[in-house]
Amino acid sequence: MTNSETSGPISALEHSETMAAYIRQGEQRAHALSNRGPIKLDGSGNLDAAILEAYWRHGFYVFENVIGEEELAELRADVARVLAGAPTAPDGGYDAQGNPAIGGEFALPPYGWAKPLSDPLGGTSKNKGRHPVKMQDPTPPADGPDWTIERLRGNLQLMESCVRLYGHPGLLAVAAAVNGDDFVPYNEVVFIKEPGLGPSVAWHQDGTTHWDAPDWDQGAHGFNFMAQLYPSTAGNGVWVLPGSHKLGKVDIKKLVADSGSERIEGAVPLLCQAGDVFITNRQAVHGSFANSSPDRRVTLNEGFFPRNRVLDVSTSKLDGTAVSYDAEQIQERSRLIAVATDARRQRFPDEAQYRYRPLIGQEDDNRWNAETRETLVKDYNIKDFYI
Ligand SMILES: O=C(O)CCC(=O)C(=O)O
């Protein structure tokens, strides 16, 4: 299916002009919502009730100033290193310096590629058909690259700075407040939207498993943290339809048809500065447009589920492969949280360490060291969950 305005090729400039009014209105709506500020915990380490209420009301919240300058520099340097070590083309084996590309040592290839400014998913049956409407795909610059890297997969084995961020005590306290103390990790990826090249991620809701469950609720498919290494703007960022996480499975085709274009009415851009972190409900309708803006976005996603939505659940992954999840798999995958809190303690010894309830007492098995790097962290993402 194509959307109502895909009547011919448009340039990136025309695309950005088409977006201008929508962006202005979306920015106003975003700033009018009371859902941004620093992570606030009480004396017992519990998340401030007003923050939790605002998250559940809107389906997202912007945590400001989560990552300090020093940590931000380490994260940016790691992403730059991994991008410099990418093969020069999707099927290549060597980086631009002629060295073996990063990734040959991993079971799952780390790099996700797309044609510049394209929409690889919208209107296709990929990802279990969860992106039903094709987005506008402006003509990429004639002198630009054939491919752009849009995604890195398996952050925790690619970048030690991401392991340390994964152990962040404030973020993990938020995860516990939203999903319960026994929250379960599911996957970590980087979204990269290079200026004038970044592809769109067509409107979708992430979850595909529990929509018809008799005990379905607004948190049934968990959430993603989205840590921003550069400012997230209306041109390069994710847009969310506030409150849509409460609606069940939404008819996205109808939303687009009713809006008269892919610019869904009432949606707001996720706006923030470098070092801020969004929490976004996976059931919220969200997506991002082709990045015809002049600004780069690099987002580190870390996702978490409520345990009861994973344990003993049978479903299929986004590629359709059937899977079932048991307590042992959850235990093994969750060890990454405990290892990460230890990695963070080693790097930031003065910071309070988060204690992940399900693994209390197992600290000695879950140290961040050469052994766990090899036996636990390497290829950890073949144990990712998906619901
Ligand atoms: O970062 C983006 O552009 C899209 C992110 C997204 O859709 C997701 O995390 O589900």
pTM: 0.96
Q: Check: CATH 2.60.120.620 for 12-311?
A: yes
pLDDT 10s digit of each residue in the chain, 387 long?
Answer: 344 455 568 999 999 999 999 999 999 999 999 999 999 999 899 999 999 999 999 999 999 999 999 999 999 999 999 999 999 999 999 999 999 999 999 999 999 999 999 999 999 999 999 999 999 999 998 999 999 999 999 999 999 999 999 999 999 999 999 999 999 999 999 999 999 999 999 999 999 999 999 999 999 999 999 999 999 999 999 999 999 999 999 999 999 999 999 999 999 999 999 999 999 999 999 999 999 999 999 999 999 999 999 999 999 999 999 999 999 999 999 999 999 999 999 999 999 999 999 999 999 999 999 999 999 999 999 999 999
Find the length of the chain.
387
375 alpha-carbon distance from chain centroid: 26
- CA-CA distance, 349 to 45, in Å (whole number)? 18
Residues touching ligand 1 (Cβ under 6 Å) are 191, 201, 206, 224, 238, 286, 288, 299, 301
Q: Which residues pair with 303 in a beta bridge?
A: 187, 224
pLDDT digits (tens, 9 = 90+) for 336-384: 999 999 999 999 999 999 999 999 999 999 999 999 999 999 999 999 9
Q: Which of 238, 271, 305 to mutate to test the pocket of ligand 1 (most atoms within 8 A of CB)?
A: 238
Does residue 111 sit in helix, strand or coil? strand
Q: Give the atom of ligand 1 at the shortest distance from the alpha carbon of 282.
A: 10
Structural element, H or E, at residue 57: helix 49-58
58 phi and psi, to 5 degrees? -100, -25
Whole-number Å distance, alpha carbon 366 to ligand 1 midpoint, is 30
DSSP assignment, residue 326? -
Helices 49-58 and 169-179 meet at what angle, rounded to 10?
60
pLDDT digits (tens, 9 = 90+) for 193-214: 999 999 999 999 999 999 999 9
Break the chain into its structural domains and give their ranges: 12-311
Q: Give the atom of ligand 1 at the shortest distance from the alpha carbon of 288.
A: 3
- CA-CA distance, 26 to 9, in Å (whole number)? 25
**Whose Cα sits closest to atom 7 in ligand 1?**
287
**Whose Cα sits closest to atom 6 in ligand 1?**
287
Terminal Cα-to-Cα distance of the chain (whole angstroms): 25
Q: Give the atom of ligand 1 at the shortest distance from the alpha carbon of 287.
A: 7
